Amino acid sequence: MGIATLDLNNGQTIPQLGFGVYQIEPEGTADAVRQALEVGYRHIDTAQMYGNEAGVGRGIRDAGVDREDVFITSKLNNGFHAPEDARVAFDLTLSELGTDHVDLFLIHWPLPTLYDGDFVATWKTLEEFYRAGRARSIGVSNFQVNHLRRLAQEADVVPAVNQIEVHPYLLNSEVRAYGAEHGIATEAWSPIAQGGVLADPAITTVADRLGRTAAQVVLRWHVQRGDIIFPKSTTPSRIQENFELFDFELTQEDMAAVSALDRGEEGRTGPNPDVFDYVPA
Ligand SMILES: NC(=O)c1ccc[n+]([C@@H]2O[C@H](COP(=O)([O-])OP(=O)(O)OC[C@H]3O[C@@H](n4cnc5c(N)ncnc54)[C@H](OP(=O)(O)O)[C@@H]3O)[C@@H](O)[C@H]2O)c1
């Protein structure tokens, strides 16, 4: 069955399911991306910080899939928030990927404690890329509600997406609700918490009843909540498994049982965006 496509706030569309390439070695990326495209994925989520954009571009060409048929997202590296640096970094993203545009370009982290907290200047630089058609959509990642409010007050373009950590142990409900109210689609990163939620009895019970895997149940839960996901795997059988989400459904009770696992901040596996200030050397 086909993958659902969602409308973004600027008239562009995005496949709800994609393939994430965080922590895939640069040498292995082309192969993983080619495999994912052969399975049927048409949306790849990479970032400058992952160091594997060139592999993404190569994987797409190796698969023989038309560039126009693949939705590519990349993200600005933390050391490049100053507008003049962001412009150079964005040019490099396009040349590494071997394309004249990305479908979506994000500020990877808000870094409110760096750059005088001026992520608005960075955002206005992404607006340039958008207006020039070199990023068909622009968005943010790891932005908290107060960061989104500042953009709403000080910038012109509303982010198309906010890519944040969301899985059954961290529902991130406040940030998600702000997005829903303001037309900002939520992209849920680490959708299975890098495997950390898969042994939970509340999830395995549903999986056993439906004859599905725990990963499929959790990924389906995201899909029914309306979020965009891109699970990562370098295991061929899992790349296939994670793609098979559109031929079954969870009941309201199943959805509620998975959502009840929320641990709030305790469930966060990644850094807290309010204080995260890592800049790669
Ligand atoms: N914006 C951000 O700050 C940010 C942060 C983190 C992630 N992301 C994005 O979100 C994507 C997904 O997040 P993630 O890579 O952190 O974690 P994830 O997709 O939640 O989990 C990936 C891990 O789970 C394993 N796995 C995948 N499918 C499985 C299955 N069906 N059954 C059992 N285990 C399975 C993978 O192992 P194998 O590979 O060994 O199969 C890998 O270790 C990333 O690739 C990246 O694109 C963004």
**Å from CA of 257 to ligand 1 middle:** 22
22 in contact with ligand 1, CB cutoff 6 A:
yes
- Annotated active-site residue 130? The verdict is no
pLDDT score, position 54: 98
pLDDT score, position 2: 84
29, 74, 190: residue to mutate for ligand 1 pocket, most atoms within 8 A of CB: 190
Neighbouring residues of 151: CB distance < 8 A, sequence distance ≥ 6: 119, 120, 123, 140, 143, 158, 159
Phi, psi at 201, each rounded to 5°: -60, -30
Atom of ligand 1 nearest to the CA of 215: 31
Residue nearest atom 32 in ligand 1 by C-alpha distance: 215
Handedness of CA 148, 108, 103, 269 (dihedral sign): negative
Which 8-state DSSP code applies to residue 63? H
Burial 2-22 (b: 16+ CB within 10 A, else e): ebeeeebbeeeebbbbbbbbe
pLDDT score, position 190: 98
Q: Which two tokens stand for residue 104?
A: 């979506």
pLDDT score, position 80: 98
Neighbouring residues of 15: CB distance < 8 A, sequence distance ≥ 6: 3, 4, 5, 6, 41, 42, 43, 71
Q: Does 226 score more than 70 pLDDT?
A: yes
Give the C-alpha distances (Å, rounded to integers) separating 274 from 146, 187, 207, 230, 245: 10, 19, 35, 24, 33
Q: Does 155 score more than 90 pLDDT?
A: yes
Neighbouring residues of 23: CB distance < 8 A, sequence distance ≥ 6: 50, 232
73 in contact with ligand 1, CB cutoff 6 A:
no
Mean predicted lDDT score pLDDT of the chain: 98
Neighbour-count burial of 112, counting CB atoms closer than 10 A to its CB (0-12 exposed, 13-18 middle, 19+ buried): buried
Contact 171, 148 (CB under 8 A): no
Q: Does 279 score more than 90 pLDDT?
A: yes
Instruction: Tell me the per-residue pLDDT of 84-133, one tens digit each, with 9 for 90 and over.
Output: 999 999 999 999 999 999 999 999 999 999 999 999 999 999 999 999 99
Choice among 50, 130, 169, 178 that is catalytic:
50
Q: What DSSP assignment string belongs to 210-226?
A: HT--HHHHHHHHHHHHT
Count Cα atoms within 13 angstroms, Cβ side, for 5.
Answer: 12
Average pLDDT, integer, range 164-172? 99
Q: Write out the H or E segment, with its range, that includes residue 44.
A: strand 43-45
Neighbouring residues of 196: CB distance < 8 A, sequence distance ≥ 6: 167, 169, 269
Average pLDDT, integer, range 160-189? 99
Pairing label, strands 13-15, 5-7: antiparallel
